[in-house]
Amino acid sequence: MTRDYLTTNKDVWNADAANWVDFAKDRWVLDPPQWGTWGNTEEQLSMLPVDMAGMDAIELGCGTGYVSYWMSRRGARVTGIDISTEQLQTARNLATQHGSDIAFVEGNAEETGLPDGSFDFAISEYGASIWCPPDSWLPEAWRLLRPGGQLVFLGNHPLSLICSPLDGAPANRTLHRPYKNIWGADWTTVEFEPTGVCFNLTMSGWMDLFSQIGFLVTRYQELYAPEWAQGTRAAIPSDWAKEYPVEQVFHLRKPN
Ligand SMILES: C[S@@+](CC[C@H](N)C(=O)[O-])C[C@H]1O[C@@H](n2cnc3c(N)ncnc32)[C@H](O)[C@@H]1O
């Protein structure tokens, strides 16, 4: 991967931010939360502690800030960091509308500049979890967490990546790229729906990295589209996503 992915992804998100404002407005008021592209429910996934009173929490790649708001609604003191000025503008506008005091910070989730051990809980939903190389942002998440702290993140399942054609057309039931040595994909110049540079690993790659850093895996979830789902979202047909895992969630803990 030779492209300057940080600048590329920042430019992509600044240019696309206006298209996510309506989605963000809907998600800010969602209670209880729904997650990912297919709206899997918090009841199924338990991604957030039920009571976050007194906790310091950070969202890494917070975008429009709705996950940050869900955490502050549960009582946490919340920081959201994002590299895109425009996405943060949406987050700040919505925070003002909702009377929220979340600290939205502009910066790179791989190198936040925030103090060591300042958070009890860290989360990423399609933020750093897919837009940053895992060996860059996961050590930073580790550094930010206190002993006993938790990191939960949701992103694409590697199977959805290897079943995605190289030109960006919707996923299908053919293996289009090798699984071995998978690192992610550069979607900037594809024919259909170009975006930025995204990262992923094989399952053993994820597990090796967690263990090198010192994270314990407390839960791993593979997500499918719900039975009611129709159409194609984010280049994945619902019929595919009902039969194959389209997303994954890792629940990790920094030991005491
Ligand atoms: C799909 S949004 C996910 C956030 C949130 N769940 C949402 O949907 O609004 C992806 C976000 O990741 C951010 N991002 C990409 N690379 C980043 C980086 N290196 N550091 C911080 N944020 C980054 C983008 O700017 C974008 O706002």
User: Residue 124 sits in a domain of what CATH number?
Assistant: 3.40.50.150
What's the gap between Cα 247 and its chain centre? 10
Q: Is residue 10 part of a domain?
A: yes
**pLDDT on residue 15:** 98
The amino acid sitting at 191 is E
Ligand 1 pocket member 61 (CB < 6 A): yes
- At 251 the three-state DSSP class reads strand
CB atoms within 10 A of CB 204: 8
Domain that holds residue 22: 5-156+202-230+248-253
| Cis amide linkage into residue 32, ω under 30° from 0 | yes
Give the nearest ligand 1 atom to 6 CA. 19
Q: Output the CA 211–ligand 1 centroid distance in Å.
A: 25
For residues 100 and 83, give the distance between their C-alpha atoms in angstroms, rounded to a whole number. 21
**pLDDT on residue 30:** 98
Q: Is residue 122 part of a domain?
A: yes
In this structure, the residue with its CA closest to atom 6 of ligand 1 is 125
The tally of domains found in the chain comes to 1
- At 155 the three-state DSSP class reads strand
Q: Output the CA 163–ligand 1 centroid distance in Å.
A: 24
Q: Is residue 173 part of a domain?
A: no
Q: Is residue 171 part of a domain?
A: no
In this structure, the residue with its CA closest to atom 1 of ligand 1 is 126
**What is the token pair recorded at 236?**
């994945």
Q: Output the CA 91–ligand 1 centroid distance in Å.
A: 11
Which of 62, 78, 111, 199 to mutate to test ligand 1, by most ligand atoms within 8 A of the CB atom?
62
Q: Nearest Cα to 171, choosing from 152, 146, 151, 190?
A: 190
Q: Is residue 169 part of a domain?
A: no
Q: Is residue 161 part of a domain?
A: no
Q: Is residue 86 part of a domain?
A: yes
Q: Tens-digit pLDDT profile for the chain (256 aa)?
A: 556 999 999 999 999 999 999 999 999 999 999 999 999 999 999 999 999 999 999 999 999 999 999 999 999 999 999 999 999 999 999 999 999 999 999 999 999 999 999 999 999 999 999 999 999 999 999 999 999 999 999 999 999 999 999 999 999 999 999 999 999 999 999 999 899 999 999 999 999 999 999 999 999 999 999 999 999 999 999 999 999 999 999 999 999 9
**pLDDT on residue 161:** 98
Q: Is residue 212 part of a domain?
A: yes
Q: How many CA atoms lie within 13 A of 202 on its CB side?
A: 9
In this structure, the residue with its CA closest to atom 26 of ligand 1 is 63
**Which residues touch 244 (CB under 8 Å, ≥6 apart)?**
157, 159, 160, 163, 224
In this structure, the residue with its CA closest to atom 19 of ligand 1 is 108
Ligand 1 pocket member 9 (CB < 6 A): yes
Q: Output the CA 110–ligand 1 centroid distance in Å.
A: 12
Helix spans in the chain (H): 5-16, 21-28, 42-45, 66-73, 85-97, 128-131, 134-144, 158-162, 203-213, 238-243
Q: Output the CA 232–ligand 1 centroid distance in Å.
A: 22
Q: Output the CA 87–ligand 1 centroid distance in Å.
A: 8
Give the nearest ligand 1 atom to 88 CA. 27
CB atoms within 10 A of CB 195: 19
